[in-house]
Structure 1
Amino acid sequence: MNDLAPLLTPQGRALLEEVRGTQPGDELAVATRLRRTHPAELVSAALGQARLRARAVAKFGAEDAGRMFFTPNGVEQSTRASVATYRARRFRELGITSLADLCCGIGGDAIALARAGIRVLAVDRDPATVAVARANAEALGLADLIDVQEADVADVDTASYDAVFVDPARRGGRGRIFDPEAYSPPLSWAIGAARKAPLAALKIAPGVPHEAIPEDAEAEWISDGGDVKEAVVWFGTTPGAVRATLLPGGHTLLGTGLPNPQVRPLGRYLYEPDGAVIRSHLVAEVARHVQGGLIDETIAYVTADALHPTPYATAYEITDQLPFNVKKLRALLREREVGILTVKKRGSAVEPEELRKKVKLQGPNSATVFLTRAAGAPVMLVGRPA
């Protein structure tokens, strides 16, 4: 939808309320009924917006998603509200009161920043996206704190702002972009813009190689509910620092420069580090905390003899260690009457669903099996959450 204006009229807003909650299977009947009293284009726009709002609930929550406006790309690329809220809080704790949000998209980060009490200049060069960002600021009562402007970010003077935040577009006409210099704008430009500001943050893909992080920057990997969502490069904080932040709890693990953990025999417990910990190369910090080591030098599983609660890894009690052998695993699971099996893999080519079919589960009990390597050899580890 390129023209948001009809949906912002009283008639458009009333229609949006009327189609709220329309299920996909009911759309045709609803559209047919509404077109008797409303322009067909307006009905299509309202139903399209209702679909986007339904998709956005996972990122923004039902209350905000039900009031905001979206584009298809905006739903896909916008920052999850929990992550944006965490980052805005960190900006505020660093003393930031004004910020230039370059490549603001539909305004997800700008909204979180404004709610943290930060005055925001939100800039994007796409007219339709700018219209949506402006509508969102107004819909959520934040227009006094968010100034949305249509411009090329390279032309924006950020000198009067305490900080800069840049979220380059990482998707193009052919899908996800993996080369940072193919971002829009390129990562090198974003780094240059960040270095001109007293404090800055750049949102980048979590798969960024560590060698691409500038030496004068801090690197932070953020997960939410166990899923790694993004990496952030901070300027003006602690150069060279590395951290993993886990939401919703807000736990942050700081790197201390530990060497890689030693490989040791499997103990009673297996620890699966959070994805943000793995991406930030901080598995050694987890191993030290649980007094453990790696099961294999190339696998990010930590083993220990005792249970040490940590927010940075999920612990499993291991009951059996088998060489890779589906028949032996099937016999063991039948003996234990396992009907519910969670399959995790790391360093194995076997697909979990393929394994489930082969073991033919039956019974009231549950178990977790890890398809991995220990000391270089393929193994199956059977256990349960500790």
Structure 2
Amino acid sequence: MFNVAILGFGTVGSGVYKVINDNANVLKKFAGDDINVKYVLDLREFPGNPVEKVLVHDIDIILNDDEVNCVVEVMGGIEPANTFVRRAITRGKSVCTSNKELVAKYGAEILALAKENNVSFLFEASVGGGIPVIRAINESLTADNFDSIAGILNGTTNYILTKMSKEGLSFDEVLKTAQEKGYAERNPEADVEGYDACRKIAILTSLITGKQVDFEDISTEGISHITKEDIYYSNKSGLPLKLLGLMQKKEGKVYAMVAPFMLGDEHTLKDVDGVYNAVNLHGDLLGNVMFYGKGAGSLPTASAVVSDVVEIAKNGNKNIAITWDTEKISLGDMASFNSKYFVRLKVTGKDDELKKAFGDVQFIEPLEGETAFVTANEYSHEKLAELLSTYTVLTTIRIAE
């Protein structure tokens, strides 16, 4: 029997408990052994819930039990998760987690600790919920040299932008609906300001490069400033607006960012709507490969967590190697990263002047008192600011084709 302890009985933890119990026969077929939830750690009581039989409130009960093979950390946050995970690993227990904050900050260190103790640290669910992108990078696609990642990595922001586009609502109106439906937290800052997506692209970039990418170094812009007027121009131009996490290798440098982008007709992510997530990888052998699915929620995330448990059981609870060293990589300066741009100005009657400055541009039918266009040429953020220095700029948004 392969014994598991779940740390945290919230949305994801309860999902993991349900999947292990409801799908026991399927899991045994793939794991080669019965998977059993021996403990669930939580500070709360759950009267009337079957979890009462395995509920404990003291982490040491789990850590001191040699029969526990694997710890599932789904508490979230940095502490006490970080301490509990490291203590479990040093006691010879493998760990799997959905905790993107923990993985983004300490992933390389914990992987090194797991290797030292010949156990595994897996984190499939930390990026994209149930989408199996991390295992693909680590196992299935190891022959490719990947030069770019583009991902819709946050279901909340994708839901908001989709709803604004399809129903003509404001950001605040859609955010309120998202909170009522449970798609957005009461404090939505991590989602709408791009911090959640930033941690996820940091994890993916670290895995692609094999080195530590600090999420604090990634240029990050959210969607809280996006207006109904911006969405009008997005719809009018046929360029859907999405919050992307992006990594590109260019001229020997690695660039990473999170920002709103308008997507061209050929972009693989342009039709990803609602709460769905998607990740597109581009490799030198395979070209584009895309992973698509539900990026959040109890059961989709639990599916990825339990797949890690099965992988660990199948591997005899020994170390599964993941290449991610503690050596830090320096990212390229995004100010020098070139893109085409959508530009919205509070000005009229300056079309000829703008053509002279920008060359070939595509003007979009404007709202009153405004001029809007898409550039044909690519510009750095610095160069664009220089060209627009004499105008009242309402919005600039990068274009990804």
TM-score of the pair, normalised by structure 1: 0.38
Higher-Rg structure is: 1
More strand by share: 1
